Structure formats: C-alpha cells, structure tokens
C-alpha cells in the first residue's frame, strides 16, 4: 500500500466500482453510481472530523450531544467529471461550500491546463476536499492542489473513485501533506494516460459524450 492513500474496501463501494468498470453500464446508471460512491467516500473522508458537545432539548429532557466542530467544509470538484462526485458529497454534507476548478488534460502532453477557478472567499480557512473520479497521471490533481495552495488553502484532502499507482505516487511526492481516498487502485496507465483496467473516460461515460 502507499503511504497517505486509503482504499475504501467496504463491499458496497467495491460492488459499485465493479458496476462502473463494466462497459455495458448505461450512462444514467454510471452517473448514479458515481454519486452513490462519492457519498460513501465522503463518509470515510470525514471520519476524523472533530466534534463538540452542544446543548439540545429532546422531547424528554435537556442534554448535550455531539455536533461537527472546527473548520467548515469546501467540496472542490475538478470540472467536469468531478461534478457528479460533488453532488454525492453534498448529499451527506449539504452545508458545504463549492469551489470549481476547471482543468483539462492536454491530449498530447497529458499536462493539466486551467480554464476556470472560483472558490468561496474564506476558502483558506476551510478544509477543502478535492474530488475528481480518476487519478491517472496525477498531473490534474497536482495542478488543482497547487492552485488551491496558491489561494492560501492549507488543509486539503483528495478523493477519487479510481486511482493509478503512478498517479498516487506523483501526487504524494508533490504534496505529501495531502491524503488521498479512493475506491480502487489499479497498477497501470496506457500510452494515452488511461487507467488499466480502469473504467474508460469517466466524463464521457457520465455525460454520454462519446
């Protein structure tokens, strides 16, 4: 295993990931699965958030019970494939703010090119969870994290559905302070930077564009 990488091995997550790998899974089902797995991954990535006791009056009596304390959350989808993941995260944490990071992979160099970046004003004081379904070469994830750090963000976590070992190693080398969560880890990339065996182009499969 790789230091800083958590693979969420829950059977529901693994089952859903396998359905996503199946090339015959239709677009609408694929999109729903992305959202569902993202919700389950959100549960894991927020597992260590601090809590504090709050006074509450039940129908029976006054008591104190835990609520989430500390930094507020930002979910930061990398456009466009991160959008369905962000929806799944918001299903669990509806009060989170959103930061949109527009990056595309240059098909020849495989480098990340930025075309949009918009964050909440107080982003630097928040915990930012970057979401992108595929961590392949690591170029896009590294660029997204670079950009957030330039904006002053210091507390960043990265969540993907499927990671490739070279990509995880690249992101961890560039940003050792950023932990990564994934539903699966594949060993290889092909010559076009796609994860093998992977699940194909997540954006195209989610939006039916190819």
Q: How far is the CB of 56 from ligand URA (least distance, A)?
A: 44
Q: Are strands 180-186 and 188-189 parallel, antiparallel or unpaired?
A: unpaired
Q: How far is the CB of 187 from ligand URA (least distance, A)?
A: 13
- Binds ligand URA by CB under 6 A, chosen from 201, 207, 209, 210: 201
Q: How far is the CB of 185 from ligand URA (least distance, A)?
A: 13
Contact 197, 190 (CB under 8 A): no
Note the helical H segments in the chain: 11-21, 27-45, 82-92, 139-150, 165-174, 202-207
Of residues 114-153, those binding ligand URA (CB under 6 A): 134, 136
For ligand URA, give the closer residue by CB, 47 or 210: 210
Contact 162, 16 (CB under 8 A): no
Element (H, E) at 130: strand 127-131
For ligand URA, give the closer residue by CB, 129 or 184: 184
Q: Which part of the chain contacts ligand URA (CB under 6 A), choosing from 45-53, 67-75, 92-100, 189-197? A: 189-197
Question: By C-alpha distance, which of 11, 8, 83, 19 is closest to 42?
Answer: 8
Q: How far is the CB of 194 from ligand URA (least distance, A)?
A: 4
The answer to whether 194 contacts ligand URA (rule: CB under 6 A) is yes
Which DSSP state fits 87?
H
Between the two ends of the chain, the Cα-to-Cα distance in Å is: 34
The answer to whether 44 contacts ligand URA (rule: CB under 6 A) is no
For ligand URA, give the closer residue by CB, 81 or 127: 81
Interface residues toward ligand URA, by CB under 6 A: 134, 136, 193-195, 198, 201-203
């Amino acid at each position: 295993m790789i230091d800083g990488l958590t693979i969420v091995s829950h059977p529901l997550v693994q089952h859903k990931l396998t359905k996503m790998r199946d090339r015959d899974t239709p677009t609408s089902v694929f999109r729903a699965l992305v959202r569902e797995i993202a919700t389950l991954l959100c549960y894991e990535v927020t597992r260590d958030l601090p809590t504090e006791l709050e006074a509450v009056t039940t129908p029976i009596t006054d008591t104190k019970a835990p609520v989430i304390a500390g930094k507020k959350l930002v979910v930061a989808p990398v456009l466009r494939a991160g959008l369905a993941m962000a929806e799944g995260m918001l299903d669990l944490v509806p009060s989170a703010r959103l930061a949109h990071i527009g990056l595309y992979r240059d098909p020849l160099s495989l480098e990340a090119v930025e075309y949009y970046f918009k964050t909440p004003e107080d982003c630097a004081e928040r915990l930012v969870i970057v979401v992108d379904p595929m961590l392949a070469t690591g170029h896009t994830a590294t660029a997204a994290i670079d950009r957030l750090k330039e904006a002053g963000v210091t507390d960043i976590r990265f969540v993907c559905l499927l990671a490739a070992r070279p990509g995880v190693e690249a992101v961890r080398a560039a940003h050792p302070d950023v932990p990564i969560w994934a539903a699966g880890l594949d060993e290889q990339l092909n010559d076009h930077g796609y994860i093998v065996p992977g699940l194909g182009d997540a954006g195209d499969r989610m939006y039916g564009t190819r």
